[in-house]
Each structure stands twice: as C-alpha cells, then as structure tokens.
Structure 1
C-alpha cells in the first residue's frame, strides 16, 4: 500500500501511514523467515475481539494480511478481549503470548496465555490449556505481554497494566515459568509513569525498555523509555519518544520495534488515531523511523503521513 510522496521523497516508494486498512492496535514487530511481520490487536469492542490477524512484508511498503492466526474458539479458557500478541521463534517453533478476558481480579479466569505454531502465520493453538499468568502480582494486571530473548538465550516475559510492570523468566520450553536465582518468579520493575505496553530491545550492550503512558483511549497516549545495563533494570525514565501531533494524529502509542539485521537501522511500529475519528477503537497501524543520537539516547520520533521508504532485508 503506497501513498503520494512529498517533494522531499519524490520518486521513492513509500509505505504511507496507516500502512494497512482496518482498525488495529498494539502492534508487535518481528523478522521471521526473511520477512517483516506485524502482529496487532484487532481493535474493536472487547466482546468482538475474538481473533488475531497478522501482516508480513518483504520491503516495509507492501503488506500481506494473514487472517485468523489465532481464534478465541481455540482457547478453552478464553471468552473475550483477545489482545496484545507478542510472538517469538525458538528451536523452529513459534510462540505467541497474548492477553484474554481483561480480568479485573484474581476471582476471574483469564490473563496471559501462550499459543504455539510451526509457522509464523499460524494457525496458533493454545499451548497449555490454561493461562500462563492468571493472577495479579504487585498490582500488575496480567495483560500486554512482551517476550524478549537475550543474547545468552535467556527468555524474559515483560507484562503489566494498571500502572505496574513485572518480568518473569521463561523455561526453555517457552510455555512455563522459571524462577530467578533467588527463587522468586515475579519481579516488579515498574518505571515512573508506566501504564502498560512494555517493549524491550538491546543495542550496544544496553537494554532499552519502553512502555505506554496515558490512557489508551485518550489523545495523550504516548511512549517513553529507560536504559539499563541489565534486562532487570533498574529502569529510570528518560523521557517520551512517541506522542501525538495535532496536525497528523493523536493517541500514538503501544508499539513494537524492528531492527534491520546488521545495520543499526531501526523502525517503530505503533498505533494512532486519525484526527477524523472519535471512537477509541478506531486505531490504525503506522510505521516511522526511530533514530539513536551519538550518546545512545533515542531521539523523539516524528510521526508522518508518508511512513518509510522501501527497505529490503
């Protein structure tokens, strides 16, 4: 999908923003099997959030939709509010972490689940027949999972809502929880102003932890970050890197990151609300460049209508 170009981009093939039609949110971005992938929430009222779609591309410009990669009917304990998918590949299998049911207390069934597939496009099936995390620990609602495998092979799952963020370790099977050296399973790592939507990347030996701030239905929804030498933090908030632009869109937040292999070239995939829309579920998927300054800090992202230029892996 392309759009008209500005004079500065004359002759370039551009993704345009939004990059795909339809209402989607909370995108996770990955590279699988030599293609770019985006796994978003289907943005609709909770009782209609009963499936997940995915999109893949060879160049960041033309995107192909894969429908129903995970359906609520394949989750025995799920009933509504399927959102925030986060996939990862390990040992030839693809694991998809997700939130379901939007539980409000420990008395309800739901939380964070995990599904598995032999292919990045699915279909994914519930891997364990129950939630992987089904309780509130340290005040964190069990939503918005983000999976990250470190260079040493350790797999971490960051998650949380209601202003609290936790991290757990995953066993090598990727469908059960490990414990840390002190025997603890859940560790709170909440930075200042954290609301939801954690995301972790690693660059030059440093861990860049990002999250969403503000209310997801509000114009001031945004993304901030912290940097630490450890995947466990501490994470001291540096500042915002993504937010609304009154001339382009509002509610820019809950994102994923693409790093072009071997290039130190970064892209941020996120959702935002067009200026013409007032329904909080009317969110669209967008992509823009993310740059690092010489000192290693993340420069504020400029959200655009143009999107990004064609980029083959």
Structure 2
C-alpha cells in the first residue's frame, strides 16, 4: 500500500456533522497577527476595513465581506465575541441590495457602526461607489439590533447633499457625540440621531491621508491615516490636536519607519479595558488582492499614547489581550525535511501533528506568492483549505498560519505552492504586487502546552546520520539509473495522507546515491489524468532506447487501478495514457496496484508485474502501454506474499521480491524467491527473509522496496521505506501513513542467495 503527505488537521471521523462542532481556540486570550483567523465553524473570519462595537457585554466585529475574484460588494459581515479572540459569525448584517448604491456590481467599503445615545438606534456607515471609483458617496443603514439585519437608507446628507468622498471612518467621543472622518482631513459632527451630518468642524487637515481612524486619550485627539498606495501598505501617519476642531499638527509615523506600519493599513482604534485602565488597540488590514476573501488578514496591536507621542514600537506576532503583553512561543526547530522553500507550482510539504495548535513560521517578501494550506482529518477528508499570502513589500519572517486546536488525534498540515501571486493595478495602471511565486516555511511554533506532545510524537528531528536519503514523508520508492543522463532517479509515493489519499508523485535525482535533488512534481492525478484523482501509490519506471532516442514509461497505482504515463526525460513532463493499463476488476479482486516493470536481457521482452494479495505477470506489447492478455500468469508465493513485487536479473537468475504483512504493521518486511524465468515458477530459499525491523535501532516496518545495480559492477542497493524515526511507531496505524525512504547495501552469497540486509541509520 502507498501513502501521500498532507496536513491532517481536524478529526472529522469523530463527528457526523462538521458544522455542528465548535472549534477550540489556540488560546482564549491571545491574538495572533497576520494569519487567517477561523470562526467557531472553522470558516475564515472575513471582515475587513473593520470596526468593533462593544454592546451588552459582547464585542461585535463589522467588516467588508470580500470575494476572491473581484472587488465587488457582497455584504458587510458581523461577528460576535466575548474575548476579542474567538469569533462567531452572526450574519451579513447588510447584504447586497437589489439595486442602488449597494446593488450588483458596486463597491461597499470601510463599514463602521455606532449607537446613537439619543435614539438607541444602531447606525452603519460605509463608502459606496461604482467599481471604477467614479461615483463615491457616504451611505448609511440602520437597525434596532446591533447584529442586524440593517436597512440601507441611502446617502448621508450634509446641507441636503450627499458627501461625495471615499475612504471614511467614524469616531464617538466620551460624551457620546458621533463624528464622520473623511480622507484628507474633513471631519463632520453628526446629528443627535446619527442620520445626517450637522456640521463640518474641520476641513482638509494638511498632510492627512485616507482610511482615517481616531481616538481621544488624556486631553489629546489622535488622528491616524494612510498614504495613497492602492492595496499596497505604507508607513501610516498621525496627527494630534487638543480638541477635535483643532488645530491639528502632523507628528509623523507611529510605527517604525520602513516597516510599512508592520505591513498593514489602519482601519480603526478600539478602546479596551485592561484592569483599571483603558488601553487602545490599533486595527489594521493586510490586504491581499485579488484573494481578499481567503488571504487578507488582520493586524491588531496595542498603541502607546502620551501627549503628542503615539507609537507601536514593536510588532507582536502574538499578544494577550487581557494583559496587553506579548506572548512568546517556543520555536520547534523544524527539520530541513519539513521546510518548504520553492516557487514551483505543486511543490509541497506535510506536517503531521496530534491536533494541538501549531503555528507555521515563514518568510514573506516582494517575491512571495500564495500557498494552499489544507487541513485533512483522520478520515482522509479535506476539512478546510485556503490560500495564505507570502507577499509583502518589506521582507518579514513570522507567523503565516495558525491552526485551531482540535481534539487529540492524527492530523496533517499540507502546504503547497499554489503558483499564484498577488498582482493589481491602480487607476493610473501602475502595477503593484509580487514578482514571483515563492513560498517559504521555515519553522513551527508550539502554541499550547499540548503542542509539545505533538512535537515529540510527530515533528522532532531524528538522530539519523545516513538514512533517510530524501527529506520528507515518502514511501514505496522506485529507483532508476538513466543511461541518457548518467544519473539515478527516485520515484516515491508521496506520503502523509491518511488512508493513502495522496494524488501527486515527485521525482528526485542524484549522481551518487547519497545527495538527492528534488525535481518537483512530475505527475499530478488531478491535473494530468482524467480517470483518477486520488490513491497515487507505488510507481515504477523503465527507460527504453528507441531509434529516435529514449522514452520513459511510468506505471503507477491510482484509484486502485494501474496507469501509465510517458515522457522523453526521466523528470518529465509525463503524458498519461488517458485510461488504466490494468483496470480494477471489482468482480474478482478488490484492487489492482503495486506495479513493477522489468526488461529481460535474455529474451529482449518487457514484463509488467502487479497485485495485492496475489502476484500477476504479463508481457508488455511493443508500445509499452498495453499488455498481451494471453500471457497473464499468477505467481503468488504461498502464505507470506502481500504486495510490492519487484524483479531483477543477475547471473542468469531472476530474483522476485515482495513485502509481507500490512504496511502499517511494524513487522512489514521483505522476502524473496529465485527463478530461471521472468514468468516463474518460483523457488523459495529456506531462509528468504532479507529485510526486517531492528528494535535496537528503533527501525520498524521496512519494506516495499526497489533494487538498483551500480552500472558496470556487481554492487547492489536496496531502496525501501520504513516508519518515520524516531517516534512514528507510537502513532499507531498512522505510522503506516508517515514513512521515510532509505537506501542500504544488498549483497549476494557465493551460491546466489541474498544476505540479510542490515538497516542503517
């Protein structure tokens, strides 16, 4: 059997209905910045250009509900929380309207909500526009309840006319008076019922920008705003004044210059009670155009205000909202075999863990692209999948993804290079965004005490010196020496998927059998085949020299059938036949898997072997993509045969290998037989067990192998998988989904029998 590597995250099999289960927070008082947040249903919190309103002992977060394809108004979302960390989706408090300023194909931004002390009514404000931003105005909506649904009332009027400006914010002073803040420094005092603008108290504060936010502390008013750089981040600025009418003085930036406000744009300032004093929380957005719905994130940080000085002195990736202090979590020291640094679409890494919350640490930069991060449960179902943005104009290393905490069990995080990048243009046509597709995962942070258990059992690096030879979770290795290139190539099953649910194959190259280079994904079932989408297992390959050059025929298990793909190079690209070469016959066998292909130098023929619970052989036709059905023969060795046939020729003898027991069993191991023919019969030596576990070294489950002869010599090596060391055995059955590939010397006795292989570290 074969495995694949993904990131298992949610224990789906424990629940009948996923939507009915609550997701546990990583910590009920810790805010994690710059990462996707998940609500109580494991959906991404989608609320941007946001504000928070505290009402009747709960917090309500309002924001733009963004799409992933186009900048268009869908609705304004409302979430509720009791702790500012764990959020419950209430509803679209104001959905798209049938027509008008917030109708189809319109823009709605910068939603803000305040409660009128005079009427007790909740009033929502927003910037409405067409998609070309040529019809700006401030609109408003009202509701008797804070979570809506709100009724859109039309434009907010000042002196009988709509306020035709774009980026806007709101501010409610200590006495309850409401104000409307506009880009470039216009400030309006609202009427008592908040349904109109009564006075323009300030006009055009010099040096102010867009996306305004305000708060009042210690006799000083602070006005925050952003430069005009489209969706790009910039060094936001602030002004101060002794009264809201001014005079306003530009003070400069409030985050360290060059950090681009810690890669964010200001949206709101929310006062938070911390003990006996009031603290102020900066709320900013990390936009991610065009994938705003999935990949845009939030940055919430404490503000330090005193007199005319305002600052966010340092960036806190995580901080406790009850103490307003940073939370420092332990870096694991992720092994190199679990890191990902690639710009090739489809490259991936998988990190299994036990459900405790983990944080992925990576580097964003000007060349960063999107990663697809998936959460797969023990049952093999993908329970959550979304894009994470690795772009930032200023390079930054930190948290890129934080998992929710789920019940203890076997999970995997799967991180894949999506091959997409954030790119957009402003009204003038200037290009913004990423220059490449890089995704860089560098480490893991343990976000809870139980995560230490996950690290010990799943992630700690092994003490191996020589094995495994390729980094990561792989199994069922096939090895080839290519005459065309003079190199060796490894073709493993990509491992780590529960129940072997993977769907892609990789290839690695080496000139010396020791140092292996990842050549990337060479066959993706969901991209390259029409007849299968999962269970990509146990490949084999052969090089055939033709009159026009070399051809490479790659046979593989997929959806419990055997397929074949063809290429001109050992690394591909491979073109699938379009149908199985050995289709699954459900009337006679449960699955047709584990192919092996051999060239017989004695007859000049090519043979295909396969089977699970049985060993079949058939001669291949000249085209190598079909078999001679009349040559099918069954060669199953008695009692010990399970799967993984492999056949080699040496000194006029044919050596048939196979694996015994279940691949999830620590006693998975390799036996062999000898024959005078590539089609049998088999002669089984009295002592035919050549590879088995070594408990003194913590080696378990070695098997499903291939064999390679160093060209021009009688030097042989066996390439096999085993449970990942040092702790996979403690994972139970999951050890059979988390394996690593090793290479050891295989030697023959003078009588032609094979010596017992000593597995090494």
Assess if the C-alpha contact under 8 Å between 1:146 and 1:158 holds in 2: yes
1:256 aligns with 2:702: no
What residue ranges of structure 1 are gaps of 5+ in the alignment? Answer: 1-13, 103-110, 306-313
SS at match of 1:89: strand
Alpha-carbon distance between aligned partners in 2 of 1:194 and 1:117, rounded to the nearest angstrom: 32
Per-residue CA shift, 1:101-146, capped at 9, x if unaligned?
A: 13xxxxxxxx10000111100121212x111111349747310000
How far residue 236 of structure 1 moved from its aligned partner, in angstroms, is: 3.1
Runs of 4+ more than 4 Å apart: 137-140
The match for 1:159 is: 610
What residue is the counterpart of 1:94 in the other structure? 552
The answer to whether residue 521 in structure 2 is matched with residue 68 in structure 1 is yes
**Residues 186 and 138 (structure 1 numbering): CA distance in 2 closer, same or farther, change over 3 Å?**
farther
Q: Work out the CA distance in 1 between the residues paired with 2:646 and 2:465.
A: 23
Cα distance in 2 for partners of 1:20, 1:300 equals 23
The one of the two structures with greater contact order (alpha-carbon pairs below 8 A, sep at least 6) is 1
Please tell me whether residue 243 in structure 1 is matched to residue 692 in structure 2: yes
**What number of residue pairs does the alignment pair up?**
280
Shift of 1:23: 0.4
Query: Separation in 2 of the partners of 1:140 and 1:202?
Result: 30
Distance 2:661 2:703 in 1: 9
**What is the root-mean-square deviation of aligned Cα atoms in Å?**
1.9
Counterpart mapping for 1:73-152 below 5 A = 73=526, 74-90=528-544, 91=546, 92-102=550-560, 111-127=561-577, 129-136=578-585, 139=589, 141-151=591-601, 152=603
TM-score (normalizing by structure 2)? 0.36
In 2, are the aligned partners of 1:140 and 1:165 still within 8 Å (CA)? no
Map 1:26-45 → 2, pairs under 5 A? 26-32=476-482, 33-43=485-495, 44-45=497-498
Match of 2:727 in 1: 276
Q: CA deviation at 1:247?
A: 2.2
Matches of 2:650 and 2:559, distance apart in 1: 35
Radius of gyration: which is bigger? Answer: 2
The structure with the greater share of residues assigned to helix is 2
Is structure 2 residue 753 aligned with structure 1 residue 297?
A: yes
Residues in 1 aligned to 2:646 and 2:478: alpha-carbon distance in whole angstroms: 9
Shift of the alpha carbon at 1:148?
0.3
CA deviation map 1:56-106 (0-9, x unaligned): 11011110011110001211001210111101111211110000113xxxx
Q: TM-score, normalised by structure 1?
A: 0.85
Unaligned 5+ segments in structure 2 are 1-463
